[in-house]
Amino acid sequence: MSTFDNPPSAPIEWLQTWLDEATKLSLNEPMAMNLATADEQNRLSSRIVLFKGFKHEDICFFTNYNSRKGVQLEKCPTAALCFWWDELMRQIRIEGVCHKLPNEDSDAYFASRARGSQLGAWASQQSQAVDSRQTLEAAYAEQEQRFAQADVSRPPHWGGYHLSISRIEFWQGRDHRFHDRMVYIRQADKQWQHQRLQP
């Protein structure tokens, strides 16, 4: 029997199962998810970020807090995420509110990154204009020199967010565009209510 015929009362285990199944496929970036944010005039923008695990039941990702998305999240913390796995014909849509992770969590994740990516986080003023690739390379070389004898510390403007899920939809592609959909909505008392949706 499909999970859609016997849905769990809460969605997190189901989400974890689909993430695990996507990871097993040896895709290039199985944890890539689209992140949509809005500015103060409700203009939307979206881009791909990587899912980096859960904080309790919240979804974590990491970025530059001064980036375009970071500036938007500061003013408007509601955001939407979307995973799509072609090979599984599966989509997961998530809506919720983002908060910055505690510094200790960002420190721990930053310390686990490749050294080159750590240096890049210092060298890049993400989302700002730059006149040439050479300018970027020079900024990177400067950071290489600066940290030549040391571990690379986390830039204060680089860290994580956790998105607290208010709505999540599981979508399984089926023949004739007659897909399976199940949405979970968090109620005021924190309990989940789920409903099957028409394709």
Ligand X SMILES: Cc1cc2nc3c(=O)[nH]c(=O)nc-3n(C[C@H](O)[C@H](O)[C@H](O)COP(=O)(O)O)c2cc1C
3-class DSSP state for residue 156?
Answer: coil
Q: Known binder of ligand: residue 181?
A: yes
> How many other β-carbons are positioned within 10 Å of the β-carbon of residue 73?
23
Residue 133 falls in the annotated catalytic set: no
Size of the site for ligand PXP (CB under 6 A): 4
Restricted to residues 87-116, the positions that interact with ligand PXP (CB under 6 A) are 113
Residue with Cβ nearer ligand PXP (157 or 174): 157
Of 40, 128, 154, 49, nearest in space to 94 by CA: 49
Restricted to residues 7-26, the positions that interact with ligand PXP (CB under 6 A) are none
Residue 148: which residues within 8 A CB-CB, separation 6 or more? none
Of 30, 173, 9, nearest in space to 89 by CA: 173
Query: What does the binding site for ligand X look like in residue numbers (CB under 6 A)?
Result: 29, 32, 45, 47-50, 61-64, 67-69, 126-127
- 50 sits near ligand PXP (criterion: CB under 6 A): yes
Q: Which of 154, 177, 186, 196 is catalytic?
A: 177
Q: Known binder of ligand: residue 110?
A: no
- 117 sits near ligand PXP (criterion: CB under 6 A): yes
Structure tokens at 68: 């375009």
Q: Known binder of ligand: residue 127?
A: yes
H helical segments located in the chain: 12-23, 68-75, 103-112, 115-123, 133-146
- 2 sits near ligand PXP (criterion: CB under 6 A): no
- Interaction site with ligand PXP (CB under 6 A): 50, 62, 113, 117
Catalytic residues: 177
